[in-house]
């Protein structure tokens, strides 16, 4: 079982900044991807940013230049630095991790995707 614990959400005024953190724990061999998603009321969940273990990152167009995803591999932790926030960024932010749970000769790498409980980010004026 893999557990993801998020922190760092809160209330902020437009133009402000927040930093989200997500720490993974449990039994796994490797973390392939750590990512942040968000979901606003009445909207579908969308990928905000992702970080692969090869160092590559990917961002939602609307957050490029404002948000930065980073990872501390030694701590199995991913961060999302959010700058110049706007009311449109108001959402529940979810951490997701794609991990290699174990490997077998017959099946190769066995993977699983896990989600955090979500943290609310509210940008208000």
Q: Residues 67-82: pLDDT tens digits?
A: 999 999 999 999 999 9
Confidence of residue 110 (pLDDT cuts 50, 70, 90): very high
Count of residues in the chain: 125
Query: N- to C-terminal Cα distance for the chain?
Result: 41
Q: What is the rounded distance in angstroms from the CA atom of residue 21 to the CA atom of residue 77?
A: 7
What region does 16 belong to: left with phi over 0, alpha with psi -120 to 50, or beta? beta
Phi/psi at 60 (5° precision): -65, 135
Dihedral (CA of 46, 11, 85, 123) sign: positive
Task: State yes or no: pLDDT of 100 exceeds 90.
Answer: yes
Helix (H, G, I), strand (E, B) or coil at 63: helix
Task: State yes or no: pLDDT of 1 exceeds 90.
Answer: no
């Amino acid at each position: 079982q893999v557990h993801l614990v998020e922190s760092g959400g809160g209330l902020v005024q437009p133009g402000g900044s927040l930093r989200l953190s997500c720490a993974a724990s449990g039994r796994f061999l490797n973390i392939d991807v750590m990512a942040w998603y968000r979901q606003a009321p009445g909207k579908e969940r969308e990928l905000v940013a992702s970080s692969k273990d090869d160092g590559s990152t990917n961002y939602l167009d609307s957050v490029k230049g404002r948000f930065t995803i980073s990872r501390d591999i030694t701590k199995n932790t991913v961060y999302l630095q959010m700058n110049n926030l706007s009311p449109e960024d108001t959402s529940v932010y979810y951490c997701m991790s794609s991990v290699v749970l174990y490997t077998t000769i017959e099946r190769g790498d066995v993977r699983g995707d896990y989600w955090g409980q979500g943290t609310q980010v509210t940008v208000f004026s």
